[in-house]
Amino acid sequence: MPYPYQIKSYDQYKADYKKSIEDPAGFWGEIAENFTWRKKWDEVLNWNFTEPKVEWFKGGKLNITENCLDRHLEKHGDMPAMIWEPNDPEEHHRIITYKKLYEKVCQFSHVLKNNGVKKGDRVCIYMGMIPELAIAVLACARVGAIHSVVFGGFSAQSIADRLYDAQAEYIVTCDGAFRGAKDIPLKSVIDDALIGNRTVKKVIVCTRTRTPVSMIKGRDLWWEDEIKKVETMGLHDFPAEEMDAEDPLFILYTSGSTGKPKGVVHTCGGYMVYTNYTFVNVFQYQPGDIHFCTADIGWITGHSYIVYGPLSAGATTLLFEGVPTFPDASRFWDIVDKFKVNILYTAPTAIRSLMGYGLGPLQGKHLNSLKVLGTVGEPINEEAWHWYSEHVGKNNCPVVDTWWQTETGGTLISNMAGITPAVPSWATLPMPGLEMVLVDEKGQEIIQEGEETISGNLCIKGPWPGILRTTYGDHERCRTNYFATYPGMYFTGDGALKDKNGFFRITGRVDDVLNVSGHRIGTAELENAINMHSGVVESAVVGYPHDIKGQGIYAFVIYQGSHGQDTHGTAEMIRKDLNQTITRIIGAIAKPDKIQFVSGLPKTRSGKIMRRILRKIAEGDLDNVGDISTLLDPTVVEEIKRGKL
């Protein structure tokens, strides 16, 4: 068997789980033996959750790209590593073998080196979903630079903040990106982000849309020209930089309940072992299978299950540039049939949105290559789960509901396809190595008695190899965010149920983080953006249930003159202005679905906004806003209720 650690039965899962909890170091040490190390680790695990400090395979030397590329060359060099499907179905797709991908990564590694990139340098990558994005990511890893991929939907201001936080000196971008009917002018957004920037030395621009771009002498370089130089010199190999297992591999920014997004840091060894292990086990990957993860590489799902997990397992990974509804709502099904996709991994939002088109787009599609379906990013409702299983999987494919986070590196709770039981809308069982507990508000572990189902805040008692190590440049923030709420435990920020079988059902965030279409948005971050709009006095943002997006964004805004009307126009025009400000500061993904102008917000006497009340109003549960007697001015509640959108 190619993956000796692939779990093959429910009994084996139970045995492996037990072993992993009793002896984590023994368990993960054995799995790590299946990778290419230049030097073996000194110690499998060293940790405490007080500082916090977590080290896996410390002293072990490796380069993750030798595991993703070099080690597959001899036996599988001619196998497709990556299939790329462009946005426009009329344009030709690309198939890149392991040999070819190796060569391309080596060439771009030379380009990075020629331009001064060294081990430990931060490289910001802002590109559309083209193979060169994955190549840039892997080339950074090969030279030992720390990549920070920023999703193509973020604004110039968001990029500027991330460049500053990471003190990034290099950027890799494209002229533009195609997404559905849109062209996104990536380089122009980068140019805006660079106004006033003092750290960035070089910007490498890959051609995709050939939209006009400004190219500044000495700073901006064309990808193709740089590659040509390397080709002329006949360079096809690049000796990978030797990394310690605990050297940082990448930073990925994600929203939390306070302040600006934080840079989650993952390291080389543990992240590699964990993404590979979960990829092979959750999806039950078999050599030759075509794996199609529809996420963008700009999110953790793309990092772990388009790039590192599949490639370290020698798999074939499919990269799709476009969107599920372009040119029409059959696009996913056409791609599945065109490439005989075996594993399809997508988000509940995409499923719900495609459900809205009815069964027409599925007509005449075979989908008979599919073996496994997966979901990620948000809770999946039963209706969407059944639709996916029945109409896409033809009742013939296990559906894996994978729960995890940017901070966890890979899946923590999920059924394993066809191996452990699936229950609609339940993520079910923890991966081996994970001791998950539910705690009450005071941090007391909730103990299950008999067959009862318990409910609480989801925490984890010890480390797994894919856990974040720090938040870039601010370790204290990492501690307070994840390890201080419930001392001695990692707090996920999610609430969950646990039933008599030990299965978990994730109920959603319990902190001030929204999950809109599977994208994390911090309410504090969004309120800061809204408050920057001139005329806004104060604002409060809450989530409410949304049929397609899972959660919608509802903003309550106190605007000068309170009703959102001033000399600049009607409330509707002011709403558009506000959206423009949010798009500039964060990006279009953070635009509220509803903006209600109010003259006051429900506050306690100490000035704290009572979001619980606003949440009830946004949900439309007007009769159950609860006790309002402690409010400074209870009359605002009636006014807000009357004005509900």
Q: Which residues bind ligand WTA (CB under 6 A)?
A: 254, 299-301, 376-379, 401-406, 427, 492-494, 506, 508-509, 515, 520
* Cβ distance to ligand WTA smaller for residue 255 or 330: 255
Query: What is the rounded CA–CA span in Å between residue 429 and residue 411?
Result: 11
Q: Which amino acid is at 163?
A: L
Distance of closest approach, residue 517 Cβ to ligand WTA, in angstroms: 11
Residues 6+ apart with CB under 8 A from 420: 10, 13, 428, 429
Per the rule left: phi > 0, alpha: psi between -120 and 50, beta: everything else, 102 is alpha
Query: What is the rounded CA–CA span in Å between residue 502 and residue 186?
Result: 46
Q: Is 251 helix (H, G, I), strand (E, B) or coil?
A: strand
Residue 174 near residue 203, CB atoms below 8 Å: no
Selection from 534, 574, 557, 553 nearest residue 643 by Cα: 557
Query: What is the rounded CA–CA span in Å between residue 338 and residue 332?
Result: 10
Selection from 63, 490, 7 nearest residue 267 by Cα: 63
Query: What is the rounded CA–CA span in Å between residue 602 and residue 634?
Result: 7
* Cβ distance to ligand WTA smaller for residue 254 or 330: 254
CA distances from 128 to 178, 187, 209, 334 (A): 7, 11, 10, 21
Give the residues across from 540 on adjacent strands. 556
Q: What is the 3-state secondary structure (H, E, C) of 278-330?
A: HHHHHCCCCCCCEEEECCCCCCHHHHHHHHHHHHHCCCEEEEECCCCCCCCCC
Tell me: cis bond preceding 52? Omega within 30 of 0 counts.
yes
* Cβ distance to ligand WTA smaller for residue 336 or 399: 399
Distance of closest approach, residue 506 Cβ to ligand WTA, in angstroms: 4
Residue 210 near residue 112, CB atoms below 8 Å: no
* Cβ distance to ligand WTA smaller for residue 159 or 427: 427
Q: What is the 3-state secondary structure (H, E, C) of 172-228?
A: EEECCEEECCEEECHHHHHHHHCCCCCCCCEEEEECCCCCCCCCCCCCEEEHHHHHH
Distance of closest approach, residue 300 Cβ to ligand WTA, in angstroms: 5
* Cβ distance to ligand WTA smaller for residue 148 or 539: 148
* Cβ distance to ligand WTA smaller for residue 176 or 377: 377
Distance of closest approach, residue 284 Cβ to ligand WTA, in angstroms: 17
* Cβ distance to ligand WTA smaller for residue 403 or 556: 403
Do strands 248-254 and 43-48 pair parallel, antiparallel, or not at all (unpaired)? unpaired
Distance of closest approach, residue 41 Cβ to ligand WTA, in angstroms: 27
Distance of closest approach, residue 379 Cβ to ligand WTA, in angstroms: 4
Residues 6+ apart with CB under 8 A from 510: 457, 493, 494, 495
Distance of closest approach, residue 187 Cβ to ligand WTA, in angstroms: 26
* Cβ distance to ligand WTA smaller for residue 522 or 600: 522
* Cβ distance to ligand WTA smaller for residue 322 or 410: 410
Tokens of 211: 């939209």
Give the residues across from 319 on adjacent strands. 84
Tokens of 164: 């500053």
* Cβ distance to ligand WTA smaller for residue 152 or 176: 152
* Cβ distance to ligand WTA smaller for residue 41 or 345: 345
* Cβ distance to ligand WTA smaller for residue 171 or 427: 427
Distance of closest approach, residue 501 Cβ to ligand WTA, in angstroms: 18
Distance of closest approach, residue 384 Cβ to ligand WTA, in angstroms: 12
Distance of closest approach, residue 214 Cβ to ligand WTA, in angstroms: 33
- Other CB atoms within a 10 A radius of the CB of residue 587 amount to 23
Residue 264, burial from CB neighbour count under 10 angstroms (0-12, 13-18, 19+): buried
* Cβ distance to ligand WTA smaller for residue 102 or 292: 292
Distance of closest approach, residue 622 Cβ to ligand WTA, in angstroms: 27
Distance of closest approach, residue 243 Cβ to ligand WTA, in angstroms: 24
Residue 39 near residue 58, CB atoms below 8 Å: no
Alpha helices in 6-49 (DSSP H): 10-22, 24-32
Query: What is the rounded CA–CA span in Å between residue 257 and residue 310?
Result: 32
Distance of closest approach, residue 8 Cβ to ligand WTA, in angstroms: 24
Distance of closest approach, residue 54 Cβ to ligand WTA, in angstroms: 18
Distance of closest approach, residue 467 Cβ to ligand WTA, in angstroms: 13
Distance of closest approach, residue 480 Cβ to ligand WTA, in angstroms: 17
* Cβ distance to ligand WTA smaller for residue 230 or 280: 280
* Cβ distance to ligand WTA smaller for residue 203 or 400: 400
Q: Which amino acid is at 288?
A: G
Query: What is the rounded CA–CA span in Å between residue 288 and residue 560?
Result: 62
* Cβ distance to ligand WTA smaller for residue 69 or 541: 541
The residue with its CB nearest to ligand WTA is 406
Query: What is the rounded CA–CA span in Å between residue 558 and residue 598?
Result: 5
